[in-house]
Amino acid sequence: MMELWGLQTSVMYISAICCAVVAGFDCCADGEYSDKNTANVSRSLDNLLKGYDKRLRPFYKQRGKPAMIGITMFVSAISSISEIDMSYTVDFYFRQFWTDPRLAFELDVDELCISNDMIEKIWRPDTFFANAKTSSFHDITNKNAFFRIKPSGDILLSLRLTVVAACNMDLRFFPMDTQLCTLEIESFGYKTVDIMYEWLDGPINSMGMSKAMALPQFTIYGYRLVERLEVLSTGNYSRLALEMLFVRSMGYYLIQIYVPSTLIVVLSWVSFWLSREAVPARVALGITTVLTMTTLISSTNAALPKISYLKSIDVYLVTCFLMVFTSLLEYAAVSYIGKQCQRKAKMELKDMFELGMPLIGNGLAYPATREQNLNDNVRVLQWFNAERKGKDKDSYTKRRTDSTDSSSSTDKDETDQQCGGTGRKNKPSDIDKFARVFFPSMFVVFSVIYWVTYLNISHSGIDNSFTRLQPPT
């Protein structure tokens, strides 16, 4: 039973293939013109154009019946999406279908594919691209256009065009933005009563795109085909629009800008762990990071138009710049306070020398700090003695530390607090200690808010009205 079924199906297949082959031969026979046939075709074409007025549109006599122009497109390449010029370049095959009953003929053929010269002799729609900046035909090796006509008078005119079209870009979310670029198709002179455009194969299939297309900075999310009415002072025009949604891939900006600027900010924090005495190191670090951020900001904006609003990349870079700048200022503050304390210490020492000697006699010169001065004076005198003796120095130091630890430790701490620990050189200043925690935590908080906010807002332009492109396989 099974075998019989198999036999039956194979017989069916073979007969189906035979039919297809026969049909194929039929088709081929249709396309081959014998000499006689050629003469017939030439004659009918001549007859067609006899009395044909190319100045008048099809259905001119039937008032109220506009010529319907069906459009299909195949986009072969999109390139040079330029933010500076606010434009993009699209390379495509543009096909216009319309019916001209005056060109109907009686020949036993499906359709005639005729030389381009014929195009010049018949009426054509004056289609133009409303948002084109420049457009060009391709002439190599011959004019890239073909013209087909069916016995019923159905005409197909296909052109290969390159159009540089304007695309108004909103860069507020740059580089996490999406851009909607359009190609507007309209008749230059014929109003809706004369010409109506339509997407021939409906709003999805009238458009094709090369699968091999790859843009350096964008991925094409999808497209939308729109038919609408354009109300102008000269009349109402039928307009078609191809809307393409580009989503920027931010990998480039992540690698070239976000990561380096983040690292520069981190680098500027190194300063907080360096000794406050390391003036050359800390100043150099601060200035280098500030300059690098400046360079990064200007190089980023060099490739962008001079727009006055803040882009999202600006928010990040300006914040990084401010972080780096404040860490430089932080060192300025540490250094200034350190200097003040040193000066204060010097003044005290000077006071001691000037007032110290008589102070031993009368302790009433500075009532408030008399005791401290007395203490210090005693210490200074001890030190002088030790210097003079030479040998006794070590013992003095020992004594001094002892006295710091025991008797005058409270005084010492007070001075330390006021001057942020100037007393001991290797101890970090309080401002540095604060900055070590404050700066990184501020930056982490900012980063989290930044990425969460922008990644949520930026792709809000994407909706379901777009026909998704199949990702290339």
Ligand X SMILES: *[C@@H]1O[C@H](CO)[C@@H](O)[C@H](O)[C@H]1NC(C)=O
* Interface residues toward ligand X, by CB under 6 A: 36-37, 40, 231, 235-236
Give the residue with the Cβ less far from ligand X, 36 or 391. 36
Task: Give 36 or 63: the residue with its C-beta nearer to ligand X.
Answer: 36
**Cβ 44 to ligand X, closest distance in Å?**
8
Q: Least distance from C-beta 40 to ligand X, angstroms?
A: 4
CB of 230 to ligand X, least distance (A): 9
Radius of gyration of the chain (CA): 43
Q: CB neighbours of 381 closer than 8 A, spacing ≥ 6?
A: 356
Residue whose CB is less far from ligand X, 47 or 115: 47
Pairing of strands 67-82, 87-99: antiparallel
Return the residue matching tokens 């017939």. Answer: 40
Pick 12 or 39: Cβ nearer ligand X: 39
HSE-CB of 441 using CA atoms within 13 angstroms: 5
Q: Pick between residue 24 and residue 235 the one whose CB is nearest to ligand X.
A: 235
CB of 297 to ligand X, least distance (A): 48
Q: Contact, 286 vs 279, CB < 8 A? A: no
Report the alpha-carbon distance of residue 240 to residue 186 in Å, rounded: 6
By C-beta, is 80 or 236 nearer to ligand X?
Answer: 236
Q: Which is nearer to ligand X, 42 or 80 (CB)?
A: 42
Nearest approach in angstroms of CB 232 to ligand X is 9
Question: Is the CB of residue 123 less than 8 Å from the CB of residue 155?
Answer: no
Contact status, residue 104 vs residue 152, Cβ threshold 8 Å? yes
Closest distance between ligand X and the C-beta of residue 73, in Å? 26
- Comparing CB distances to ligand X, the nearer of 37 and 409 is 37
Q: Which two tokens stand for residue 9?
A: 């199906």
Cβ neighbours of residue 280 closer than 8 Å, sequence gap 6 or more: none
Residue 10 or 37: the one with the smaller Cβ distance to ligand X is 37
Q: Smallest distance from the beta carbon of 323 to ligand X, in angstroms?
A: 55
CB of 238 to ligand X, least distance (A): 11
Please count the other Cβ atoms lying within 10 Å of the Cβ belonging to residue 309. 8
We find the least distance from the C-beta atom of residue 36 to ligand X, in angstroms, to be: 5
**Nearest residue (CB) to ligand X, 37 versus 395:** 37
Cβ 59 to ligand X, closest distance in Å? 18
